[in-house]
Chains A and B, each alone.
Chain A
Amino acid sequence: MTFNRRTFLGTASAIAAGLSAPMVLAQGKPRVVVVGGGAGGATAARYIAKDSKGEIDVTLIEPSRTYYTCFFSNLYLGGFQELSDIAHSYGTLAADYGINVVHDWAVGVDRDTKLVSLAGGGSIPYDKLILSPGIDFVEGAVEGWDISAQNKMPHAYKAGSQTELLKAQVMAMPEGGTFAMVAPPNPYRCPPGPYERVSMVAHVLKAYNPTAKIIVADPKPKFSKMSLFQEGWANHYEGMVDWIGEEFGGGNVSVNPDAMTVTIDGEETKVDVCNVIPAMKAGRIAEMAGVTEGNWAPVNAADMSSKADPDIHVLGDASQQGDMPKSGFSANSQAKVCANAVRGALTGSKIFPAKFSNTCWSLIDTDDGVKVGATYEATPEKIAKVDGFISQTGEDADLRKATYEESLGWYAGITSDMFG
């Protein structure tokens, strides 16, 4: 054997790796592949890259070059934000954090060879895979609606062109027209989201089309922040919003996108805009990776690892973790726990105990913000709620305004935490 410089270096690094890094392979750096660049994926990629200081090779697979956050997209509908305010690029993650950002669809995961295949061809190897694909819709969830009808009856539950379309349709409603929403069953992304949306649409209609009506067909008997929203609707938009819950047949719904009709408990109504938010499931790549049970991907609370595969972690909306709501804040919180665990497994860095928290702000009308939040801990069974709070009905206007202003601060905070 020729003892040259190269083999010497190789041996030395292999020894060093063996001492400090339990899972490092002798050749090259450990590799983390993250699928999905939202609140879970972007945060996980950024924290792993930042904290490993180059020791881990991080690839982020995200089809969109410009990411529109779902949180605050309702504020765009209400005219409180421009679309450009909720648009983010991945440039900083690539330039400042050295993350390999791949704009493509992940279309398969081979868990034996540990490869993620891409729609554009080729595949990317991983030591640890983090899936944060958000949601897809359950087929056939709303009779008469499928994804091919999304232009006539938008879901607008993945932000971007769908949100713009819905806003254009609201602005084009005839005087005194009807906006219908088909609300989703639990569990779904952003529990207060549909009701904040109702508030924002009402805010716009009150200004431009005050005789218009809003009908909500809801399969649930109650919903997130219900008393706060109902108080707000009565105070700001009296007589405009008709919420039809489970008790009055809100779950017995079909739509006809060609005729623009909605049938609720046997009664057909002609509508001008119909926002169909179907039942949800984990983004499809989770199912393709074989880590789902039913609609969601069960995970271990301590590190967000999949119950089906210890080398795959699932974050955010797609995961079935326990008590946390499916929110951007939750995904961001879970991503940090996951990043710490993944880095520890790959480089031997210290793994600190899991800690989770969530707060969701909603806007009801100008300067009328409310919030709900909780802290969580990892138990052997699930992520379990520890403590929580919610805004109260009848709060004074200054507090509501402060809550709204706080939500703007949070948006700036979480987006810089995600995208650098």
Chain B
Amino acid sequence: MIWRSASGVGLAASILAAAAYATEDLGDAEAGEVVFSKCKGCHQVGAGAENTIGPHLNGVFGRKAAGLADFNYSKSLKRAGNSGLEWHADTLSAYLENPRAFASGTRMSFSGLKDPEDRTNVVAYLREFSDNPRDIPEADPTAKGTDHSVDPEILAIQGDPEYGEYLSSECTTCHQIEGRDDGIPSIVYWPDEVFVVAMHAYKNNQRLHPVMQMIAGRLSNDEIAALAAYFNNPE
């Protein structure tokens, strides 16, 4: 059975390689703990964490924005949550970069973390207090960051919202334009980049839903950009 143990070694090595890659890619949690000292005045995290000035951050990954029933959030964050915004590495990072740019009416009185490494690290730190870091790191592009696998030139395309509005009619057979989720997720008010990354992940079969793979599969880069531009602000 030499072949079997040999392949076992190969498998273990590839898992190690993947783990090393993932750890590096997902940031340095220890450095993140230092960064988190800027947040501590308002946010608790870890055993026994409670809501204080800001909500506690246990289990924040995968949580809908404004998702704690017992915290009084701003309307702006509530609306974002009702429109389908969930906290993953990329959305947390975008929010932390410039909270008011991301959710204009947020009550979080913080000017933002400008250094991308700081953001990646603090997000890595917060990840340790989430028991459902689902799809991290490989399956869910929204869980990992905004830039992986999508060419920056594609992300830079400025979409034509008028064309997006026409194309959107194919989406609104299932996704409601008012942002309601009755079994099919809301796709309105997403940051352009999040939308584009998600659609390319379907197009490349990294995300698994067959209807979305089929729909995204025949959208061009310009069409995806146009849809992102339209759905970001459909009014």
| A-to-B contact residues, CB < 8 Å | 47, 329, 332-333, 336, 340, 350, 352, 355, 357, 359, 371, 373-375, 386-389, 405-414, 416-417
Known contacts A336-B169, A359-B211, A373-B210; is-contact A386 B162 (Cβ 8 Å): no
Q: How far is the CA of A389 from the CA of B215 in the complex (A)?
A: 11
Q: Chain B residues with Cβ under 8 A from A408's Cβ? A: 182-183
Distance between A48 CB and nearest chain B CB, rounded to angstroms: 12
Contact with A along B90-114 (1 / 0, CB 8 A): 0000000000000000000000000
Identify A352's interface contact among B163, B174, B181, CB under 8 A: B163
Q: Chain B residues with Cβ under 8 A from A374's Cβ? A: 214
Q: Chain A residues with Cβ under 8 A from B217's Cβ? A: 375, 387
Tell whether, in the assembled complex, residue B166 and residue A352 are in contact, meaning their CB atoms are under 8 Å apart. Answer: yes
Tell me, yes or no, whether B79 is within 8 Å of chain A by CB. no
If over half of A's interface residues share one DSSP class (helix, strand or loop), that class is named, otherwise mixed; here it is helix
| B-to-A contact residues, CB < 8 Å | 162-163, 166-167, 169-170, 172-178, 180-184, 210-211, 213-215, 217-218
Q: How far is the CA of A332 from the CA of B211 in the complex (A)?
A: 16
Shortest Cβ distance from B175 into A: residue: A413
Known contacts A373-B211, A409-B183; is-contact A416 B169 (Cβ 8 Å): no
Identify B174's interface contact among A336, A340, A389, A414, CB under 8 A: A414
Q: Chain A residues with Cβ under 8 A from B210's Cβ? A: 371, 373, 389
Shortest Cβ distance from A336 into B: residue: B169
Tell whether, in the assembled complex, residue A416 and residue B183 are in contact, meaning their CB atoms are under 8 Å apart. Answer: no
Distance between B177 CB and nearest chain A CB, rounded to angstroms: 8
Instruction: For the complex of A and B, list the 10 residue pairs with the smallest distance between their C-beta atoms, beginning with the closest.
Output: A409-B183, A409-B184, A412-B182, A408-B183, A336-B169, A389-B210, A413-B174, A405-B183, A352-B166, A410-B174
Q: Chain A residues with Cβ under 8 A from B213's Cβ? A: 389
Chosen A-B contacts, 13 in total, with CB atoms closer than 8 Å, are A336-B169, A350-B162, A371-B211, A374-B214, A375-B217, A389-B210, A389-B213, A405-B183, A409-B174, A409-B182, A412-B184, A413-B172, A413-B184
Tell whether, in the assembled complex, residue A389 and residue B214 are in contact, meaning their CB atoms are under 8 Å apart. Answer: yes
B162, B173, B181, B218: which has the most chain A beta carbons within 10 Å?
A: B173
Distance between A274 CB and nearest chain B CB, rounded to angstroms: 35
Identify B218's interface contact among A47, A387, A411, CB under 8 A: A387
Tell whether, in the assembled complex, residue B170 and residue A333 are in contact, meaning their CB atoms are under 8 Å apart. Answer: yes
Identify A416's interface contact among B166, B176, B181, CB under 8 A: B176
Q: How far is the CA of A226 from the CA of B173 in the complex (A)?
A: 26
Given known contacts A359-B174, A409-B184, what 5 new A-B pairs fall within 8 Å (CB)? A336-B170, A409-B174, A410-B174, A411-B182, A414-B173
B169, B172, B177: which has the most chain A beta carbons within 10 Å?
A: B169
Q: Chain B residues with Cβ under 8 A from A336's Cβ? A: 169-170
Distance between B229 CB and nearest chain A CB, rounded to angstroms: 15
Distance between A44 CB and nearest chain B CB, rounded to angstroms: 11
Q: How far is the CA of A412 from the CA of B210 in the complex (A)?
A: 20
Tell whether, in the assembled complex, residue A412 and residue B180 are in contact, meaning their CB atoms are under 8 Å apart. Answer: yes
Q: Chain B residues with Cβ under 8 A from A414's Cβ? A: 173-174
Q: How far is the CA of A297 from the CA of B154 in the complex (A)?
A: 43
Q: How far is the CA of A123 from the CA of B193 in the complex (A)?
A: 52
Distance between B199 CB and nearest chain A CB, rounded to angstroms: 15
Q: Chain A residues with Cβ under 8 A from B166's Cβ? A: 340, 352
Identify B173's interface contact among A333, A405, A406, A407, CB under 8 A: A333
Q: Chain A residues with Cβ under 8 A from B162's Cβ? A: 350
Tell whether, in the assembled complex, residue A416 and residue B178 are in contact, meaning their CB atoms are under 8 Å apart. Answer: yes
Tell whether, in the assembled complex, residue A357 and residue B184 are in contact, meaning their CB atoms are under 8 Å apart. Answer: no
Q: How far is the CA of A410 from the CA of B172 in the complex (A)?
A: 9
